[in-house]
Amino acid sequence: MVGEQGGRDAFITEGFDNWSKKCSFRKHMELEKSNYEIRLRATIRSCRFLLKNALPFRGHDDREKSNNKGLFIELMSLVMFPKKEQMAIVLRYIDRHGIVNERFNGVVHVLDTSSLTLKAAIDTVFSNNNLSMAQERGQGYDGANNMSGAFNGLKSMILNENNDAHYIHCFAHQLQLVVVAVVKKHDGVDEFFEQLALVVTVVYGSCKRKDMI
């Protein structure tokens, strides 16, 4: 039936030799090959990282709508799409026993870093986790204008919805700025952090060395 409808058994018996756009077909093959190589390299790099650090590949829920699909899938998305803008979200809360907990919720891909886009992404994360903005009691970012701007920043947009969501400049970011400034002026501090980085790399490269420390 297929041969009769097409007028010729091109793909069945005779073979197809009248392709009018050979260049387009060749470009398509090259593009597919390039995409395959990108996926293969990303897979190998992700596997090496997880194996080197003795980390699990799978998570509890790897479905498409899951906020955390497991380390392998999440790492693959970061390795394959490094040019995308990303926002890391960490939630800090007090449990029923009065203990402060901090949980890394995940990395959210955003089209840009405007305050409107970031606010929409946060609203989506809150909605997916059945959280309410009215329960928020604090927010912390770096000092960029799109985050901490007094009028159009993300901080202000959230405060407009909840006056109790007090803004605090991210302490980790402040500490990083201090360390960078000191390192630039003192060679001894620069050498200290360089050696510290080497020690951390060596120790965390082996489970046995980690246990010894």
Per-residue pLDDT of the chain (213 residues), as tens digits, is 444 444 555 555 555 555 555 666 677 677 777 777 878 888 888 888 888 888 888 777 767 667 677 788 877 777 766 576 778 888 888 888 888 888 887 778 788 888 888 888 888 888 888 888 888 888 887 766 667 666 677 888 888 888 888 887 777 777 877 888 888 888 888 888 888 888 887 887 777 877 887
Q: Give me the helix-helix angle, 187-204 and 171-185, nearest 10°.
A: 120
Q: What is the largest CA-CA distance in the chain?
A: 82
Q: Phi and psi dihedrals of 185, rounded to 5?
A: -105, -15
CA gap 126, 120 in Å, rounded:
10
User: Are the C-beta atoms of 57 and 43 separated by less than 8 Å?
Assistant: no
Kindly report the number of other CB atoms within 10 A of residue 85's CB atom.
14
Residue 130: strand, helix, or coil: coil
- Give the DSSP H or E segment for 110: strand 100-110
pLDDT of the residue at 25: 65
Residue 41's DSSP bridge partners are none
**Locus of tokens 């803008």:** 85
pLDDT tens digits along 73-131 = 877 777 766 576 778 888 888 888 888 888 887 778 788 888 888 888 888 888 888 88
Handedness of CA 67, 69, 74, 75 (dihedral sign): positive
pLDDT of the residue at 46: 84
pLDDT of the residue at 1: 44
CA gap 79, 88 in Å, rounded:
15
pLDDT of the residue at 145: 67
**In the numeric block, which tokens belong to residue 50?**
């997880």
pLDDT of the residue at 28: 66
pLDDT of the residue at 109: 79
CA gap 108, 134 in Å, rounded:
22
